[in-house]
Structure formats: structure tokens, C-alpha cells
Chain A
């Protein structure tokens, strides 16, 4: 139905045209590249090409580094809404070339690396100086300069810290073991004692032992000089100075980020070049020729052919005689059963629903696209779930507004879906009398007159309506499967598995209405339905398991097949969710109105509170019900509908095409 027809394409060309061909394919963006079906004996390995690929990859890596480093310093030229809806920069090929050529990745990379290195070392220096200043300050009362605490020829003089808890033991051990030592307790802070120690160098090993036993540590004050207090202040001043340096380095970075947008463009360009190199991994090649294979949509065939011809003509060849042409292109139709990538192609109204289909699975190439078949059901179900005219109009307006902001892309398709959902919801709201949960009795006459069925007052009637809708969809699913089987000439399956069941279920519907829902069915009809159902039941028992080889199982399987009735019954029951979700919308909306009414009674702040409650509450209800409406409507398609006729499992058609993240190049009309 709407799966694009595909063709297998093979391009065999002379190596001199390689870059042109790859660029042409990338620009056209219509070829899904696969590995070639023919084995070419490669003369010369792809090492040169791989080396080039690695170089480009490394350039891309550098650009990514530059981009990430400069990002915090970039002031975007696009703001707010425009940035959100239209983030890409639009320019044409020449502009792009000029921009890209005037930019040197290597130079910018080097300056960024250097700048970041300076920033990091300045930051580390600040940390070091601040820590040292704190340390030095503890010796402020030592009465000596920091750089005076140095060894003489025979003695060691050095600053030291000991834990307060160990200090007494340390003192006694030291006095016992090394009587020729002296120390000066300078200060205490927290659990640490700061001191200066002096002893003869020859006692070094004894002292070291005591220090170790009482976990005393040498203090490293190198880098500080002069009177301790002044030294600490000087260090802090230096740290402040460095902070200033960092500020000016940030300004340098801001300067480097002035053409940040150029960097983004170059990033895109290099990524494109990389993609063009990487794709060649799937090419087959000999020394002088190369071959590309893949899939493309039939309708693109002429475009590709013309494009390749222009390359031929440009280098003086002629595509009229195969001998004079450096590029040879061959196509064929896919062979039955071949694994062909799937591209869905539906008209404007249906295409937004492709989202719903692909959420489940793509059809395989040889299958019909179920999108047009689910679209009408989906949109009606969505309307029934949200079921409020006010919400519907709100949703449609929001979707329209967002669409006007988005020129194209998948998000726009989704908004289109929401717009249709909004319209459907409005219609359902109109006929069920749902308007922001307001009691229909206080609404104007024309709204009251439009009400066909109010589900809040007559839920049973509404339940019957949604069951009928369910029966219609289940029957449609069976009918589609029947048509598919007929087309595939599986006559017996079509008649016995589908047609028989459609008739059988048609007889069961009035019986079910009578027995299960307790509705009234005229006796005449009930009698006919009963007899019909009996006959069909017997037929199902006789034919249901006809494919089973075992004769006993043939009959037993037929009886089991009768059990499918329960499955169909369950399917139809499942549509009751449409009623429940619809009622939930109305009930919550009424609850919100009720709460707002209560808030009105609060003096002064009441009306403001009520308005806030109304806006926030109804928006919340709208959002929750849209989510619920979407997933439940989708679920009914997947489990109750698709199960009858659709298998899916196709893989997506991914053409080799430009994928620029930040920019968009205008197509040049040649």
C-alpha cells in the first residue's frame, strides 16, 4: 500500500570518479548502502583511504574538544524561541566553503589546549598557595622567619606537626631518647600541635623513630619566605592575583569563542567528510575501479542516473556508449523474500500516523503498510479518550502554534498528529457534552442541542457504543487478513480462518448482547443467530485444526479452536477502556472545577487562587489524558487490531545522506 517500491542498485565506476560519486550520493541522500554482492579481488589494500579516514577522525576529535572547551564562553546569536525551534544555521554551499576554508582546526586546537593548560595550572597554583598560606599561618608566633627554619652544619631545625593526643608521649619519648633536642610549641589548632624542632643531625635516626611512633609529620613550608604572617598574606595576595589572571584567560577564551558558530559549521563539515570516507568501507574495489551497492526507492532512480551522468559529462566521457563512460549503473527489482529496507510513504494526512506504526514495528517489505488502516481508528479512539471539546480546541491550537514554529522534521509530523487528535477530541466533546467538565445543563442551548449521548449520565449506552466500535475494528482486522490471504491465493485460509469467523462472530454478537449485557434482542433474530452460531461452531470444530496431521488431533484441535471465541470476546471487552478514559477526563475536570469553587470562598486571595487552580488543573488533566489517550489508542491498534493481520519486523531504510547537526546547506538548483 504505502511501502515505497525499492530497487537494488549497483554502481561500478572508475576510481578517478570516486570522490565525485560519493559526494553526489551523499547530496542526493537516497541510497541505502549495503555490502556488495560480488567479490572483487582487491588490488592494493584500502590502507591509504583508512589513513585518510583516521586523519579526518582525529580532526573531528580536535574540533569536538574545541567545541566542548569553548561552549561555556559562547554567547548564542539565536535566542529563546528561535533557538528552540530553529536551531540550525542556514547557508549555501559557497558561504560554507569560504567559512570552512578560512578556519584552521589545528591552530585553534593548539591555542585552546595551551589556554586550557594555563588555566588548569593557574587553578592548581591557587589551590597550592592557599593551602600553604593556611599552613604557614600556624607558625605566625614562632618568632622566626620561615626561611630561617633551615639546618645548620650540625643541627636540624625544622617545622613539625604532632597530633594533640600524642603530644605528651612524644615530648617524653623525645626527652628520654634525645636529650640534646629542643622544641618550641608554636600553636595549637584543633587536634594538631604546631612546633619547631631542633636537634643534632647525628641523632637523626633516633628522632625519625620517635616521629614515626607518634605520627608526627614534617611540615613542608617550601615556597614561603620571611616572617610567617607576612608570608601567608603574600601567598594569599598571589592567589588573588592568579584569580585575576584566570579571569583574563576566560576573556581570552571568550575571544576564541567569538566565532563559535564557525566551529560548529566546520564540525559539521568534517563530520560529513568523515561519513563520506567511512561509507567506503562497504565499497568493493580493485586497483582502478570500485563498486557501490545498495537499495534506493524506484522513484529516485532517474535522479541518481542523471546525477551520475553529469559526472560523466563533466570529465568528458559519454554515457551513450558504455565504453566511453567511467560510471556504470545497473538496477534490478528485489527478489521475493529478499531482505529489503523499508521506507514508508503515505499521503499528507496519513503520514503522521507512521509514527504510531513504527512505534510497534515497521512492516517487512513484502507486507502492506498498516498505517492508512489504523489512522481513522486511532484518531477516533484518541478523541474518545480525551473527550472534551475545550481540551480538544486547546490541544489543536497549541499544536497549530507549534507547527507554525517548526518548518519541518519529525516533531512537526507529531504536532500534526496532535492537531488531528485535537479536532477529533473537539468533535467527541461536542456530541458528548464535555466542555472543561462544566455541567451541560448550564451551557448555552446550542451546546445542549449538540449532545447526542452524555456518557456521564448514560454510561451503559456509551459502553455499547465503544463495544460496537471495537467489533468494527476486530472485524476490519479479520477482513484485511482475508483480503491478504485471497491475494496470496491462500483460498482455504481466507475462507475457513477469516470469512467463517466473521460470519460466526456476527451471529455471536446479538447473542452476547442478549446474554451478557442483558440487552433486548427480538426473539426471531435471536433464534436465527443461535442456529447460525451452531452451524458455524460445528464448521469450526471440523476445519479449525485441518493443518494438523494427526486425525485425532484434527478433531480435538478443532474443539480447542472454538476457544478462540474467548479471545475475540476479550478483544472487544478491551475497548471498554475508551469509555473509562473518557469518563475519567470528565470526572477529573469536574473535580478541578469543584476545588476552584471551594477556593473562591477564601476572602481576597480566593478569585486569584481559583483562576490558578483552574488553569493548572485543566492543563494537568489535558496532559495526563493526552498521554493516556495516546498510549491506550496505540495499544488497541497493536494488540487487538494488528494481531489479526500484521506481523512487521522490517528494518528501516537509512539512506546515506547529509546529517548536519548544526547547519543546513541550501540545495543549489543546477
Chain B
């Protein structure tokens, strides 16, 4: 059972930390967005899009969680050895840590992009691109986790 516990801990970390990153990130962007909407309510749609950008880390976290659950299903519940459990736990770390940090960082960039939209609404695309560059590392973290989970022995 210890193996299962460790595996679960990994899945929980992935979902919880990446979700926290998204929560903080969307929070930062949302605050900036509200400030802009106070001046110009018509920009709401675009700002909502910007606020949603740091939300993907949380989704990636859930993806990681489901991948681990799938793995547990493949191995048979409780059949996971302690060694395998540690492997799963470590495999989840790239997603968990990059999700947390990139979510926060991306939130800051998206928040700044809200200011960009306030002054130059036509340049919103560029603001999005800045935010997406940060997300690269969450995507790579997810990828790392997927690849590591695929190599559990």
C-alpha cells in the first residue's frame, strides 16, 4: 500500500501545485483586468481572455492526475511497489513545480498585458504572446511528467 500512497501523493502534488499556480496567476491578471474594466467596460471580453491564460497550468495538473490514475489502473490498485511509487512521485514533480512557478509568472505577464490592452487595444495579440512564452515551461513540465510516467518500471 505504501507504493500506492506515494503514487497518490505525486498525483495530488501535480494537481494541487499546478492548480495553485493557476489560481494565483489568474488572480493577478484578474485584478489588473478589473482596473481596466473600471475605465472601459467594453474591453471585458479581451481581458477575460488574458485572465484565462494562466489558467491552463491547473488544467495540466489535472491531466497529470488523470494520467497517474490511469497508471494505477493499469498496474492494478495496490499492486504498486514502493519503488514504483517513488518513481511516480518524482515523475510528477516537473509538472507540479513548473505549474506552480509558471502560473504565477504568467499571471504577472498577463496582468501587465491588461495594461497594454488599456492603452493600445490593438496590440493585445502581442501581450498574449508574451504570456504564452512563459507557458512554454509549463507545457515542457507536463511533457516531462508524461515521458517519465511512460518510463515507470
Contact A576 B63 (CB under 8 A): no
Whether, in the assembled complex, B132 has its beta carbon less than 8 Å from a beta carbon of chain A, the answer is: yes
Kindly state the separation between the CA atoms of A496 and B139 in the bound complex, as whole angstroms: 34
Known: A359-B129, A635-B136. 9 other contacts (CB 8 A): A360-B126, A360-B129, A577-B136, A579-B143, A588-B62, A588-B63, A594-B66, A634-B125, A634-B132
Scan B58-70; emit 1 where CB is below 8 A from any A CB, else 0.
Answer: 0110110011000
Interface size on A, residues (CB 8 A): 28
Whether, in the assembled complex, A632 has its beta carbon less than 8 Å from a beta carbon of chain B, the answer is: yes
Interface size on B, residues (CB 8 A): 26
Contacts of A581 in B (CB 8 A): 139
CB under 8 Å from chain A, chain B span 116-153: 125-126, 128-129, 132-133, 135-136, 139-140, 142-143, 146-147, 150
CB under 8 Å from chain B, chain A span 362-411: none
Whether, in the assembled complex, A598 has its beta carbon less than 8 Å from a beta carbon of chain B, the answer is: no
Query: Which one of A590, A591, A638 lies within 8 Å of B129 (CB-CB)?
Result: A638
Whether, in the assembled complex, A639 has its beta carbon less than 8 Å from a beta carbon of chain B, the answer is: yes
Query: Which one of A577, A584, A632 lies within 8 Å of B59 (CB-CB)?
Result: A584
Contact A576 B143 (CB under 8 A): yes
Whether, in the assembled complex, B20 has its beta carbon less than 8 Å from a beta carbon of chain A, the answer is: no
| Contacts known (A587-B66, A591-B62, A632-B132); A624 close to B146, Cβ less than 8 A | no
Whether, in the assembled complex, B56 has its beta carbon less than 8 Å from a beta carbon of chain A, the answer is: yes
Kindly state the separation between the CA atoms of A628 and B125 in the bound complex, as whole angstroms: 13
Contact B136 A584 (CB under 8 A): no
Contacts of B132 in A (CB 8 A): 631-632, 634-635
Kindly state the separation between the CA atoms of A574 and B143 in the bound complex, as whole angstroms: 11
Contact B125 A359 (CB under 8 A): yes
Contacts of A635 in B (CB 8 A): 129, 132-133, 136
| Contacts known (A459-B150, A574-B136, A635-B129); A587 close to B67, Cβ less than 8 A | yes
B26 CB to nearest A CB, Å: 13
The 4 A-B residue pairs with the shortest CB-CB distance in the complex, in nearest-first order: A359-B125, A587-B63, A577-B139, A580-B143
CB under 8 Å from chain B, chain A span 617-647: 624, 627-628, 631-632, 634-635, 638-639
Whether, in the assembled complex, B8 has its beta carbon less than 8 Å from a beta carbon of chain A, the answer is: no
Contacts of B147 in A (CB 8 A): 459-460, 463
Contacts of A634 in B (CB 8 A): 125, 129, 132
Whether, in the assembled complex, A583 has its beta carbon less than 8 Å from a beta carbon of chain B, the answer is: yes
Contact A588 B129 (CB under 8 A): no
19 A-B residue pairings within 8 Å (CB atoms): A359-B126, A360-B125, A360-B126, A463-B143, A580-B60, A580-B142, A580-B143, A583-B146, A584-B59, A587-B63, A588-B59, A591-B66, A624-B55, A624-B56, A624-B59, A631-B53, A631-B128, A634-B129, A635-B136
Contact B129 A631 (CB under 8 A): yes
Across the interface, name the chain B residue whose C-beta is closest to A584: B63
Kindly state the separation between the CA atoms of A627 and B52 in the bound complex, as whole angstroms: 9
Kindly state the separation between the CA atoms of A346 and B119 in the bound complex, as whole angstroms: 31
